[in-house]
Amino acid sequence: MQQDPPIMTDISRQTNGTGRPGINGDLVYKRVTAFFALVILAILGLMIFEMTKESLPSIGKFGWRFLTSREWDAVQGEFGSLPYLYGSVISAVLSILLATPLSVATALFITEIAPQKLGTVIASLVELLAAIPSVIYGLWGVLVMAPWLQQTVQPWLSEHLGFLPFFSGAPYGVSMMAGVLILAIMIVPIITAISREVLLAVPQSQREAAIALGATRWEMIRMAVLPYGRSGILGAVILGLGRAIGETMAVTMVIGNSPQISLSLLSPAYTMPSVIANEFAETTSKLHSSALMEIGLILLVVTLIINIMARLLIWGVTRGSKAGIA
């Protein structure tokens, strides 16, 4: 729903409304509210500043080596973040590859195929699931999913597909695979919900035109609906990626927390947020906490870029609808 922008009144020339000289209430009001609005801006600036400042000792000592070294030794004071970067990137990308087709297909089902009532029910169900906190997905992951993976899925995989490097090794349960699955389950509601908003914003005339030309429903989706919503859906996927990279609790609980770089999905791994969650409260030295801060800074920069990209893409399609607040 598009409304006319409110008329901006020039408050500098107004009186205080009582007809008597005195304080200009509107000006005070403007200043007070502006102060609170600026707090938001200040917080963002402060976050970037603090994270950078606290990372400086680590940046100064290790330089670019921090990104390429596998050494993470709090006793020796050697810190390299490669296993964490690897774990974060691989788990996020794989979970996105898993979640995207499912989410987009579901969003299409909700908006294009299902009867309106059923669509609304599924949509609100999905939205409700997006509200379940991370720690609860983690609880389910570590107590239900990981044992199931260890006893059923992973032995089968390593027996029948064990010749592939991706499925070699012993079944631990807590593993890269568990991390990917739990992440996919967690970002599916977000991508679905935003894709749905984007698809709802596709003008009805697009669909009618395609149908009028004799298209089947699938052809209508492929030729009229998807191209129109493409950038918005891409935005939803990128937003999901941002969520996956920053996701902490659930991943920490199921990924095994072992800083190794292995092609196998069955072996444990470690991510950037997980190492922060596990070590930050009990750092052994200034350098240790600074190294964790630098990991946090990398995480911050990556998520900032991802989010800015996603917002721009989604805004382009839905124009001011609430899709941006996820």
Partner 1 sequence: MKSIALRNGKNLAATALMVLATVVLLTPLGLVFFHIVKMGLSSLSFDFFTQIPKPTGESGGGMANGLLGSAIQITLASCIGLPVGVLGAVYLTEFGGNRLANIIRFSADVLAGIPSIITGMVAYTLLVVPMKGFSAVAGAVALALIMMPIVLRTTEEQLKMVPGTLREASLALGVPLWRTSLKVMLKSATKGIVTGILLSIARIAGETAPLLFTALGNQFWSHKLTEPMASLPLQIFSFAIAPYEDWHKLAWAGALVLVVIMFSINLGARLLGRQKRYS
Ranges within 238-257 binding partner 1 (CB under 8 A) = 239, 242-243, 245-249, 253
Using the rule CB under 8 A, which residue among 13, 20, 41, 76 binds partner 1? 41
Using the rule CB under 8 A, which residue among 85, 142, 255, 317 binds partner 1? 142
Of 176, 190, 170, nearest in space to 93 by CA:
176
C-alpha torsion 179→248→312→189, nearest 10: 60
Using the rule CB under 8 A, which residue among 56, 67, 97, 105 binds partner 1? 105
The one-character DSSP state at 10 is: -
Question: Alpha-carbon distance 180 to 133, whole Å?
Answer: 17
Query: How many residues of this chain interact with partner 1, rule: CB under 8 A?
Result: 102
Q: Which residues within the stretch 160-189 sit at the binding site for partner 1 (CB under 8 A)?
A: 181, 185, 188-189
Using the rule CB under 8 A, which residue among 30, 160, 286, 319 binds partner 1? 30
Query: Toward partner 1, which CB reaches closer, 15 or 205?
Result: 15
Using the rule CB under 8 A, which residue among 56, 160, 203, 217 binds partner 1? 217
Q: 92 with 105: CB under 8 angstroms?
A: no
Q: Which residues within the stretch 75-104 sit at the binding site for partner 1 (CB under 8 A)?
A: 101-103
> Does residue 211 touch partner 1 according to CB under 8 A?
no
Segment interacting with partner 1 (CB under 8 A) among 38-46, 162-170, 199-207, 262-270? 38-46
- What are phi and psi for residue 73, nearest 5 degrees? -130, 105
Q: Which residues within the stretch 112-131 sit at the binding site for partner 1 (CB under 8 A)?
A: 113, 122, 124-126, 128-129, 131
Question: Alpha-carbon distance 272 to 44, whole Å?
Answer: 21
Question: Alpha-carbon distance 135 to 252, whole Å?
Answer: 10
Query: Toward partner 1, which CB reaches closer, 176 or 323?
Result: 323
Segment interacting with partner 1 (CB under 8 A) among 71-79, 161-169, 216-224, 260-268? 216-224
Distances (CA, A) of 202 to 2, 54, 114, 228: 15, 46, 17, 7
Query: Toward partner 1, which CB reaches closer, 114 or 209?
Result: 114
Residues in contact with 103: Cβ distance below 8 Å, sequence separation at least 6, in sequence order: 187, 188, 191, 192, 195, 236, 240
CA angle (5, 10, 15) in 5-degree steps: 135
Q: 323 with 311: CB under 8 angstroms?
A: no
> Does residue 322 touch partner 1 according to CB under 8 A?
yes
Torsion region of 194: left, alpha or beta (phi above 0 gives left; psi -120 to 50 gives alpha): alpha
Q: Which residues within the stretch 9-28 sit at the binding site for partner 1 (CB under 8 A)?
A: 9, 11, 14-17, 25-26, 28
Question: Alpha-carbon distance 217 to 181, whole Å?
Answer: 32
Query: Toward partner 1, which CB reaches closer, 73 or 219?
Result: 219
> Does residue 36 touch partner 1 according to CB under 8 A?
yes
Query: Toward partner 1, which CB reaches closer, 33 or 263?
Result: 33
Q: 272 with 84: CB under 8 angstroms?
A: yes
Q: Which residues within the stretch 288-317 sit at the binding site for partner 1 (CB under 8 A)?
A: 292-293, 296, 299-300, 303-304, 306-308, 310-311
Distances (CA, A) of 181 to 55, 105, 233, 248: 32, 18, 21, 14
Query: Toward partner 1, which CB reaches closer, 259 or 296?
Result: 296
Query: Toward partner 1, which CB reaches closer, 266 or 294?
Result: 294
Min dist CB 259 to partner 1, Å, is 18
